[in-house]
Amino acid sequence: MAIEDEVKPTRKDLMEIKDRIELSEQGHETLEKKRDGLIMEFMEILEESQDVRDHLESDYDAAQKKINKARALDGDVAVRGAASALAETPQITLESKNIMGVVVPQIEGSKVRKDVGERGYSLLDTSARIDEAAEAYEQLIETIIIAAEIETAMKKMLDEIEKTKRRVNALEFKLIPELKDAQEFIELRLEEMEREEIFRLKKIKEKKEQEEKQEKQEQRDAEEESRLSDEASAATSSD
């Protein structure tokens, strides 16, 4: 739809357009700052994520080596028996925190790390290799919990960054230019209307002056006619 079909060339509409432009530019500046802040926070989390991924990979490899060694030397029966003796499984608690207006999860794990006596199996029936494997997997679970929190935060931050970028672009490349085009149209139309009004008033003034001039001329003609008539009457009377 053409701009002239959307706005009215009035001073009231012009003031409203100017207010909307000012508000949109302020919003654009605020969103740009938010976008830049989110990107900085995301980069920090991304760096932390890389470290956690490295730890996750190394912890997984270490746990696999420990469990494979225990299976090879103590047997699958002993390993499975120790695993099935676990009385308390790890617990996950979900909370939330706010980063630049983005709510991200805060994951806390409990009952993950256990002392040797808390794992449920008999120390006399198991070897140190099983203890080492259990400890390695406890470490792996802790790293998985941290990784889950960071990866989820990254996804939410990235979604918010993309959403903010779309809003910034919509203001910068669509709404603000359209509003400025509307402002320019109204200003030009008002100038044109003002010129037309000046021209109209000038014509009215010229017409009024012409009518006054004609009226004065008619009055002079009437006076002259009256004078001539009076002189003719006087001459007739003297004869």
Question: What crossing angle do the helices spanning 11-74 and 128-170 adopt, rounded to 10°?
Answer: 170
- Structural domain for 53, as ranges: 3-184
Residue 214 lies in a domain: no
List the chain pLDDT tens, one digit each, 239 residues: 455 567 788 889 999 999 999 999 999 999 999 999 999 999 999 988 999 999 999 999 999 999 999 889 888 888 888 777 776 777 788 888 888 888 888 888 777 777 766 676 666 667 888 888 888 988 998 999 999 999 999 999 999 999 999 999 999 999 999 999 999 999 999 999 989 989 999 989 888 888 888 888 888 878 777 777 777 777 676 65
pLDDT at 174: 93
CA distance 39 to 212: 76
pLDDT at 97: 85
pLDDT at 165: 95
Contact 143, 59 (CB under 8 A): yes
CATH of the domain at 139: 1.10.287.3240
Residue 40 lies in a domain: yes
How many domains does the structure of the chain reveal?
1
Residue 92 lies in a domain: yes
Residue 106 lies in a domain: yes
In angstroms, what CA-CA distances link 59 with 31, 64, 211?
40, 9, 104
Residue 174 lies in a domain: yes
Residue 204 lies in a domain: no
Instruction: Give this prediction's pTM.
Output: 0.70
Name the 3-class secondary structure at 100: coil
Contact 142, 113 (CB under 8 A): yes
Name the 3-class secondary structure at 237: helix
Q: Which residues are bridge partners to 91 per DSSP?
A: 110
Residue 216 lies in a domain: no
Residue 209 lies in a domain: no
